[in-house]
Amino acid sequence: MTNCVAKETKHWMSYLIDSLVNSGALPSWEALDYVTTNLLGDSPNAQLHHSKSPYEATQQFLNRVYGPIVEAASRTTDMPTEAMIHMFTDISLIGKSAVLVVYFPGKNQPHQLLLLDSAPAWDLVFESETTFNHWAEERYQWITQALQTIVTDTNQTLDMLKEPALANMS
């Protein structure tokens, strides 16, 4: 018998459903149906192909999938109060869409790209919940690691800028 501890990961499918319900985007029964219909099954995603407004459906889909992952990652790092994270999508109906996650540190500092993910939305379908959880956890880790690195670097830069000013006061 081995004594190893498995790495805990979120149950991302449930997390997405909770996010849709708690944000008021969908009631619980519709959120469950939306997530399972759009994320599990065969590729291509027929829901996106048969929509009357495929551009809007694709944008909504990517925001509903990536948004909760970005939100969860932003909760794991102590960001300055003036800092923000924004998610942008560049939708393509014939190629890969892009999802960009950008950190805005505030105080007129340069913005930092946390994630640039190329996603063919109609192929963003998974064979099982486990496969989706692995995919979502991977993006969560990428964003979290990038955010922690950038926040640490930004804080160190601010501290270095403050030191000469404090030295001149004495």
DSSP output for 15-81: HHHHHHHHTTSS-HHHHHHHHHHHHBSSSS-HHHHT-SSHHHHHHHHHHHHHHHHHHHHHHTS---T
CA distance 128 to 10: 15
Confidence band, pLDDT 50/70/90 cuts, at residue 157:
low
Q: State the pTM of this model.
A: 0.84
Summarised one tens digit per residue, pLDDT across range 102-146 is 999 888 888 999 999 998 898 899 999 999 999 999 999 999 999
Distance of CA 115 to the CA centre of its chain: 8
- According to CATH, the topology of domain 12-155 is Putative cytoplasmic protein (1.10.3100)
Is 163 or 81 the better-scoring residue by pLDDT?
81
Question: Domain residue spans in the chain?
Answer: 12-155
Summarised one tens digit per residue, pLDDT across range 2-38 is 444 445 678 999 999 999 999 999 999 999 999 999 9
CA distance 145 to 12: 18
Residues 6 or more apart whose Cβ sits within 8 Å of residue 99: 62, 66, 87, 88, 89, 115, 116, 117, 119
Summarised one tens digit per residue, pLDDT across range 37-68 is 999 988 888 888 788 999 999 999 999 999 99
The CA-atom distances, in angstroms, between 43 and each of 39, 49, 98, 121, 125 are 9, 11, 19, 10, 6
